[in-house]
Amino acid sequence: MNRRSLYFTGPFETAIEETSVEMAADEVLVETRVSGVSAGTELLIYRGEAPEELPADETLETIDGDLSFPLRYGYASVGDVVSIGEAVDDDWLGRTVFAFDPHETHFSIAPEQLIEVPEDVSVEEMVLFPSVETATSLVLDGRPRVGEDVVVFGAGVVGLCTIGVLASFPLGRLVAVEPIPGRRERARHLGADVAVAPDELDDVLDRGPDCDGADLVYELSGHPETLDAAVGAAGYDSRVIVGSWYGDKPATVDLGASFHRDRISVESSQVSTLAPETRGRWTRARRAETALSRLRDLDVGSLITHRIPFSDAPDAYRLLDERADGVLQVLLTYP
């Protein structure tokens, strides 16, 4: 059958094109109701700042090829199963499901790649599942301990979800660092004890000569220059978790000050894989179940600020690119 798919066709250019979809005997056909636009990876692609030779995502069967133009991309779609293949159980028909699928009106997919939307989670809330799963992975990698001071740089959607997950821990203090006032207020709403502008952080961390710096720092702003500030906020024997992906933008870090003497650890975190030290007891399925539990508990609906018809999708990317005050999670809606 015919469908409409969103393509990134060049820097700052998108187009909706007619494509076709075929359903195999062991697949279902999903009609999309809503999809979420990522202000991280998708915005890098939109701006032409993603490494074109990099595979789009080797862990998702719904996304193939590399990041060169033109490409279909996206990983947060929710819709209804409207048809099933001959080898699929009849119970799948009519279910509302989530899939890591690009922005398009219909898609075929194997049932094992779907997550059924729980009855107590709305369709729009479910679109934020990838962000909450990323936050869950970031917290697993950061290993927060009781009584620790934790600083999160960046209160975008992933940063706010991470703050929400961290707020359930018995930390000493949870500090959000964000230049946009409205996002600082959202960080407090989701559980941050303190939310400050970047130039106010030093005053917050100064707790005496024997207790300077944070125990755990997250860099989630998406800006390479913020990595310096994250390392600077870390205390002795602390750790910095870099969850931002900068694409092809270089990150120059000043390691000539207290970095070596303070034995600061800088680690990467990425949701596509599980960290080696967690694989003994954690699986992707267990992490997904944990993320669903967090999704139920967090007020993720408050992060949705704009709903734009799929036919007007280029407006969504322009809106995110301009970083207008008040813009957080943008949804594409399908008639």
Return the pLDDT at 224: 94
pLDDT in tens, 134-167: 999 999 999 999 999 999 999 999 999 999 999 9
pLDDT in tens, 203-228: 888 655 666 799 999 999 999 999 99
pLDDT in tens, 279-330: 999 999 999 999 999 999 999 999 999 999 999 999 999 999 987 668 999 9
Contacts of 185 by beta carbon, 8 Å cutoff, 6+ apart: 195
Helices (H) and strands (E) in the chain, counts: 9, 15
- The least confident of 49-58, 196-205, 242-251, 305-314 is 49-58
Q: Which amino acid is at 266?
A: V
266 CB burial (10 A radius; 0-12, 13-18, 19+)? middle
**DSSP per-residue string spanning 140-180:** HHH---TT-EEEEE--SHHHHHHHHHHTTS--SEEEEE-SS
DSSP 8-state symbol, 23: -
pLDDT in tens, 249-291: 888 888 877 888 889 999 999 898 999 999 999 999 999 999 9
Contacts of 269 by beta carbon, 8 Å cutoff, 6+ apart: 137, 138, 141, 142, 241, 242, 243, 275
Domains of the chain and any CATH numbers: 2-127+300-333 (3.90.180.10), 131-277 (3.40.50.720)
pLDDT in tens, 7-29: 999 999 999 999 999 999 999 99
Q: Does 39 score more than 80 pLDDT?
A: yes
Residue with structure tokens 């709903």? Answer: 307
Rounded Cα distance, 176 and 184, in Å: 7
